[in-house]
Amino acid sequence: MNQPLKKSLFLLTLSLLLISITLSFQVPETKAWAWETHYFIDDEAESVFSDNSFFANNHATLQTWCVKPDQGWGESDWHWLDAISYHPLETTGGRLPWGLRTIFENAVKELENKNWNQAAQLMGAASHFTGDGTMPLHSTYNYDPGSNHTNYEYKVNSHLNEFSIPQYAPREIENIFDAAMKTLEESFNYTSEDPNGGVNISYFLEYDNLWNKSIREITENRVRASVKFTSDLWYTAMIRAGLTISAPNLTEPLDEEVTSDSKPTFSWSSSSGVGPYTLELRLENSAESNEFIIKNIQNTSYTLDNQLNSGNWSWGIRSGDNSTHVGLWSESQEFSVQKQINEDSGSPLLPISIGMFIIVVVVSVLVISKVNRL
């Protein structure tokens, strides 16, 4: 090989190396969860909706695009927010809430124009950033993975099958930006900068502890939050685009009805006739979590299998989804369950009371008789 050719090849190799180095600085790795966790979150968010929903029909696109931002799509500082104080959250860098709001608004426009594939792509990309917002380390200066940050992300993958994801019902988000900030604030609470001094992931990772009971509980909490945030954002985008199915009208129990039936039958009418329906029940003013989500109800009535506790309950019904629209929620109604005391349970008290009275009388007579003899 002649000298000029060698020199040219050397310069070409050097140029490619410099370009590679330059790009590595321009588009830093900013993964929050590893890809398997993003896939998992998307799957769970899809299951919140009916089987034939827009999201189920665009499963492949959502799965592809939920990791696109880790392949250079979008802005690198959309993945994180560097918080320095808590409530209100003050930050020194990162634009996750702004980036998520931009993607959401663009997704709504694509939905309005019936550009289904483009809308699904943006929905998938948005789910990446809802996931990033629930990852505690992405709410601090430690947003850029490396060392135990990365090791932790991959450790999570091997424990996904251990997580219990509750039945969720989608709800409309009033303000996407505020919801993102609230989510990041909750995530920040699990870092070393948490002012409450609680258990946090940062501490464990600093001492090379990638998994224990506390980390598992924190991680499960944040993955659950990601599923809920993602499904709520998707639902809100469809509503803002006007792609909705009318809500059912509740018929029984009547609003503010009082019943002794702890297993009531719920019924409703629907002008859209679109099922399957979702029933949501919530015990009001309860310190404990008493919320029930019952899905895939095919008819316009449903009788509970399990008894409800006494108290004031609210209930609502959501229409089913289809490939281009989501079902809306009915207005909530309230009813009270006041269980009657079983009359039979009080019957033994009478003979017992009479028996005690007889015993007292007999003893008294004996005592008086003995005294008289004396």
Residue 40 banded pLDDT, cuts 50, 70, 90: very high
317 in any annotated domain = yes
Residues 38 and 154 in one domain: yes
67 in any annotated domain = yes
350 in any annotated domain = no
Residues 173 and 317 in one domain: no
Q: What is the pLDDT of residue 245?
A: 97
5 in any annotated domain = no
The parent domain of residue 58 ranges over 28-240
7 in any annotated domain = no
Q: What is the pLDDT of residue 361?
A: 46
Q: What is the pLDDT of residue 5?
A: 52
Residues 176 and 278 in one domain: no
Is residue 298 a contact partner of residue 309, using CB atoms and an 8 Å limit? Answer: no
Q: What is the pLDDT of residue 359?
A: 53
The burial class, CB within 10 Å (0-12 / 13-18 / 19+), for 144 is: middle
> In this predicted model, which residue has the larger pLDDT, 198 or 311?
311
The distance from CA 180 to its chain's CA centroid, rounded to whole angstroms, is: 13
Q: What is the pLDDT of residue 185?
A: 87
Residues 212 and 87 in one domain: yes
What is the share, in percent, of the chain residues with pLDDT greater than 70? 74
Which stretch of 87-101, 139-153, 348-362 has the lowest confidence by average pLDDT? 348-362
Q: In the predicted model, is pLDDT for residue 302 greater than 90?
A: yes
Give me the phi and psi of 329, to 5 degrees please: -85, 145
How many of the other CB atoms lie within 10 Å of CB of 16? 10
Is residue 54 a contact partner of residue 238, using CB atoms and an 8 Å limit? Answer: yes
- Bridge partner list, 162: none
Residues 6+ apart with CB under 8 A from 130: 100, 180, 183, 226, 229, 230, 233
Residues 55 and 129 in one domain: yes
Distance CA 313, CA 284 (A): 6
- Give the model confidence (pLDDT) of 109-127 as tens digits: 999 999 999 999 999 999 9
Residues 208 and 102 in one domain: yes
Distance CA 153, CA 136 (A): 11
Mean residue pLDDT across the chain: 83
C-alpha dihedral sign at 40, 139, 230, 164: positive
258's enclosing H/E stretch is: strand 257-259
> DSSP string covering 101-170, please?
HHHHHHHHHHHHTT-HHHHHHHHHHHHHHHHHHHSGGGGSGGGS--THHHHHHHHHHTTGGG--PPP---
Q: What is the pLDDT of residue 90?
A: 60
Residues 72 and 90 in one domain: yes
Distances in whole angstroms, Cα of residue 145 to Cα of each of 107, 208, 222, 226: 28, 15, 18, 19
Residues 69 and 191 in one domain: yes
Q: In the predicted model, is pLDDT for residue 351 greater than 60?
A: no
Domain containing residue 92: CATH number: 1.10.575.10
Q: Which residue has the tokens 């009478």?
A: 350
Q: What is the pLDDT of residue 343?
A: 44
- Amino acid at site 220: E
Residues 223 and 326 in one domain: no
What is the share, in percent, of the chain residues with pLDDT greater than 90? 60
Q: What is the pLDDT of residue 197?
A: 56
Is residue 292 a contact partner of residue 269, using CB atoms and an 8 Å limit? Answer: no
Residue 22 banded pLDDT, cuts 50, 70, 90: very low
Residues 6+ apart with CB under 8 A from 14: none
> In this predicted model, which residue has the larger pLDDT, 184 or 354?
184
Q: What is the pLDDT of residue 354?
A: 46
Distance CA 72, CA 146 (A): 18
Is residue 87 a contact partner of residue 356, using CB atoms and an 8 Å limit? Answer: no
How many domains is the chain partitioned into structurally? Answer: 2
- Give the model confidence (pLDDT) of 130-186 as tens digits: 999 999 887 775 555 567 878 998 999 999 999 999 999 999 999 999 999 999 989
Q: In the predicted model, is pLDDT for residue 104 greater than 90?
A: yes
- Bridge partner list, 297: 277
- Give the model confidence (pLDDT) of 240-282 as tens digits: 999 999 999 999 999 999 999 999 999 999 878 788 999 999 9
142 in any annotated domain = yes
Residues 6+ apart with CB under 8 A from 327: 50, 244, 245, 247, 272, 274, 277, 278, 318, 319, 320, 321
Domain containing residue 298: CATH number: 2.60.40.10
CA atoms within 13 A on the CB side of 194: 19
End-of-domain residue from the set 220, 240, 260: 240
Residues 77 and 197 in one domain: yes
370 in any annotated domain = no
- Give the model confidence (pLDDT) of 177-228 as tens digits: 999 999 998 988 888 766 665 678 888 888 888 999 999 999 999 999 999 9
Q: Which residue has the tokens 């944040």?
A: 222
End-of-domain residue from the set 240, 272, 301: 240
Residues 133 and 233 in one domain: yes
End-of-domain residue from the set 217, 240, 263: 240
Distance CA 238, CA 107 (A): 9
At 272, list the tokens: 């859209």
Q: What is the pLDDT of residue 195?
A: 62
Distance CA 10, CA 269 (A): 76
Residues 6+ apart with CB under 8 A from 292: 279, 280, 281, 282
Distances in whole angstroms, Cα of residue 348 to Cα of each of 293, 340, 343, 359, 362: 41, 17, 10, 17, 22
199 in any annotated domain = yes
Q: What is the pLDDT of residue 347?
A: 41
Residues 170 and 318 in one domain: no
Mean pLDDT of 39-58: 97
Instruction: Name the pTM for this structure.
Output: 0.81
